[in-house]
Structure 1
Amino acid sequence: MEAEVLPQHAFPLKGSKLHHGLYPRECELCFPRLQFHDQAQFARHLRVVHCKKEGGSYICRYGDNNVCQKLPLEGVSDEDYEAHIRRVHCDPLHHSLTNIEDPREKEFTLSSFTQNLSAVLSDPGRSRSEVNTFFTRHWGDSFVPPHSIPRSTLIPPISDQQFIAHQKNTSKVYKRYHATKRALAALQQPSTCGEGDSDDLPQVLMDPLFHLSDARTFVDIFTVPQKGVPDPLTVTRSGKTVVPCAPDDTDGKKPPGSFRDYMSLSSRLESFHDVVDSRLATRLVAKSAAFWQMVHSYGGLHEELSDAMSDIRRVRSNLQAVSRLVCDRTRKIIQLYEKREKKQKLLAKLFDVACLREAQTTVQMLLNQSDYPKVIECIETSEDVLSSELSGVQCFRHLGSQLTEMYGVIGRMMLDDFATIIQKEFGTKPEDGVLMTYDGELSCVIMGLIQVRRFGFMSMIRTEILEALKGILRHEVKLHIVQSGIDLTDFDPTLNQLGEPVRRLVYEDWLKTVDDVTREFFNFCKRIQALQDVVCECAERIRNHSNIKHVNSPVVTDDSVQGHAVLDLSSSEQDEPLQAGSGEPQTPEFLLSNDPAALLAVEIRSVPQLLKSASLLAEFAHHCAQTRLCRLLIARSKLQEGAQDLTTPEQLTQMISLVKQYQQECSEQGWHKTEPIAVSPLSKCLQRLCLEYIERFHNQRRAKMSSTLDAEVWKAAEVSSEYQFLVDECVRTLRLRNVKPTSEQAVGGDALMVEGVPYVVVGSALVFLKILADYCECFAALPTFAADILSRVVELLKGFNSRSCQLILGAGALQLVGLKTISVRNLALASRSLQLIVHFVPLVANEAEASLKEDQKHLMRHFRQALTDYSDHIGEIKFKLISVIDHHTTNCLSNWEVSSSIPSPSFQQICRQMQKFHNGLAGIIPDEQIKSLFETVHDHFKGNLKLHLAKIGLSPHDSLKYGCVSQDYAFYAQSLRAMSSCSELQIESLNDVIYGKY
Structure 2
Amino acid sequence: MATVGVVRNSSVSWRRCSVCQDSGSFKSPRDFCRHLRDFHCTKEGGSFVCRYGSTGVCPSLPVEGVSDKDYEDHVVRHHVYGNTASRDKGMSSARSEQYDLQIANSSHTQEPSVVQDQHKWTVYQSSINLPALLNDPRLSKRETDFFTKTWGDSFENTLILPSPYLREITQSHFEKYLHKTSTRYKKHQRLKALPEKADNSQISETSKQFSGGHIKQLEKNREELEQVPKIFMLPNFTLDNPDTFMAVFPWTQVEESRDATGRKQSSKLLQEKLSHYLDIVEVQIAKQISVKSDAFFHAMSSHEKLQDYLLETCKAVKQLRDKIHEIDTTLARGPLKVMSLTKTRSNYVNLHNKLKLMSTVHQTQPTIQLLLSTNEFVGALDLISTSQEVLTQELAGVHCFRHLGSQLAEMEKLIEKMLQADFVKYAMSDLNRPVTDSQVLTQEEKLVAILFGMLRFHKFNFIEVYKEEVCATLKSTIKQTVVEAVAVVDDINTEGNVSSLADQMRLLNYPLWMDLLKTIFANLLVILNRAKEFCAVVRDVVGIAAGRTKAPTPISSPTVESSKNLEEASHLHVSVSEEVDVMVSDGEFYKLGSGLKEMLCTVCDHAHDRCVKVLAARAKDGFIEKLNSTEFVGLSREIEQFVQDCGSVCGRRSTSLRGSLQSQANRFVNRFHDERKTKLSLILDNERWKQADVPSEFQQLVDHIRKTGQLSLPEKKIDIDSKPSEVLIIEDQKYVVVGTVLLLLKMVVEYCQLVDDIPSACPDILTRLIDLLKSFNSRTCQLVLGAGALQLVGLRKISTRNLALASRCLQLIVFYIPLVKTHFQAHLSAKQVNMLKHFDQISKDYKDHIEEIDKQLLAILDSMFEVQLSKWEVKPPMPSNCFRSISKQIARLHEAIVDLLPHKQIQDLFKKINKSFKSHLRLQLTRLGVNNNGGPQHGLVTADLAFFSGNYKTLKGLEELAHDFNDVWEPR
TM-score (norm 2): 0.46
**For the pair shown, which has the larger CA radius of gyration, 1 or 2?**
1
Greater fraction of residues in helix: 2
TM-score (norm 1): 0.45
